[in-house]
Structure 1
Amino acid sequence: MARKRPRFKRSSIKTFSFFLIFSAIVWVLVQFSKTYTQLIEIPVNYTNAPLDKSISEDRPDHVDLQLQDNGFNIYYYKIFNPELNVDLSEAKEIDNKLVYSLQNHLSEIEQQIKVDFEKSLIVQEEIVIPFQFKKEKMLKIEPRINISYAVGYSAENPVELQPDSVKVSGPEEVIDSISTIYTREINLNKVNEDLNGNVSIDTSGLGALSFYENSVRYYQKVDKFTEGSAEISVEVVNVPEDLNLAFFPKSVIVYYQVNLKQFESVSAADFRIVCNYKDVKPGDDYMIAQIVEKPGFINNVRLNERRIQFVIKR
């Protein structure tokens, strides 16, 4: 006669599983509540590096924290691993090395990594960071400021920057390859008053350099302008003596913009329009008129006619 297999009630299996899991949890809690001593690597991030120094890539990337605490806190440090920020402006310079004393900054370190140094300690007493001096250079700054003036307004002089150059430091091969840098591009529309503002220096692609200034001031005097015109006789120069040259028109109209305050100061005698016969190409029957003299305070100067037709009389 076949023997029946013993059967376990589901309630018994559930009870057994509960006590097994409960016992495991109690065991884990007991183990994690014990005090342990563990060596943990704390990553280091360096801030405020001196602008005239290039920090070596061989610098220490961590400090060793000997942590004496319960298992829960040790596990927390291993998982989240807080970072230590080292302010190099507080380091001492000794024999081409920056020496940062950890022992002199324990209270700051405690706040940063949330550790109690009554139970734990930083193994190292100081961090030593090798460096090389950077090369320094003054770079000219060019503005990238696009201005659209309101109707009737303009400026005599281009936008000026203050300062117009900036000191930078960095690796010699990078420094020697650059002579000019630029501001960030800005667009100003319908301008009808003096410009005075700040604009950042464009450092994109120049991460190897350290800038002693990050922005500059720009300014420009803006005034009301009006358009003027004058009829000017055309001169022809470098015509061979044996050549009888006739040309037309004999005069052209020059248009210009001028500050309203200086409008009365401009006269036709201030201009000189010249055609150079030497510039005529074979087969051409015209010369190009050039403005060779004009007042320095006017702008947007143009001619109503630049081609001067000519014929050679026999």
Structure 2
Amino acid sequence: MNKAKKSGNQALKDIIMFLINSVKKNFITKIIFFALSLVLWFYINLQKDFETILNIPINIANIQKGKTLLNPIPSHVRMKIRSKGKALLMSDFNNEIFLEIDASGFADSVNVRLSTDQFVNTSNKDIDPVSIYQPVELIIQFDRLEIKKVPVVLNAEIDLKSGYLKTGKYTQQPESVLVSGPEAKVKNIKEIESVKIVKKDLDKDFSEKISLLLQDSASIKYSSKTVSVFQMIVRKGVTTFKTPVQILNKSDKINLIIDPVAIDINVTGPVNELHMISSGDFIVTADVSKLDKASNKIPLKIKSEIKLEWESEINEVKAIQY
């Protein structure tokens, strides 16, 4: 009895293993056949013609000399095209197909109906236009082309940190821009302003590239869209220069000396510019003809061509005759 039971269990195990091995072999075979079928189906369908709707660019060619568009037109048209599935799958067209409107015969405003006859294909693929969806008509307006130069105005609030000063030449590039476009719009542009910027407590050089506020940039072209500015910023310093006093208009018959014979001149400015100044940049004179006999004092006159802030606490000298 036990022997018969064991034989029955073994037979059941053999049947189960056979089924498992059969399923494995059939599954791999089915996967292979499915993959081959999918590739074959894909290849066959890629050879068929398909229709699809795309947004393609609109170009206007041969605009008359001295004319330009008054208002921009839509940049793209929604259009149905027909091509092989392979061509549609493997290309983004990248402006290789477009609608082109010949404006050589247009001098003024005109309504143009878009059609498949305006379709241009510069790709190496077989693509046929089917129909136009949107827009189906364009209003094209022309105006005289005007070109002029206008100044760039920087809109900036710049505050320096305490103890710092601007130094050197302020540079701005460009200082003006060329503006070109329809006369009706360009004639109203007097200047180009930058985007407003605010800088607080600056203690280092100011260098920025700032965007310009461009009016109607769809219709008007600008030679630059940004302005670059630079201003050197350095620490403020104070330097004292001891400068001798020159006596003017003294008669040879008069024995006279002055006190003091030299004065201190304090100059405040950027430290890098203070290094380039000397006492020789100041001329201090005492004109004896201006002598106040009551006080025996002569007013001082100080001349200098330096552009920095300077001062002296002494504005007169004592005249001593002997």
Scaled by the length of structure 1, the TM-score of the pair is: 0.43
Scaled by the length of structure 2, the TM-score of the pair is: 0.42
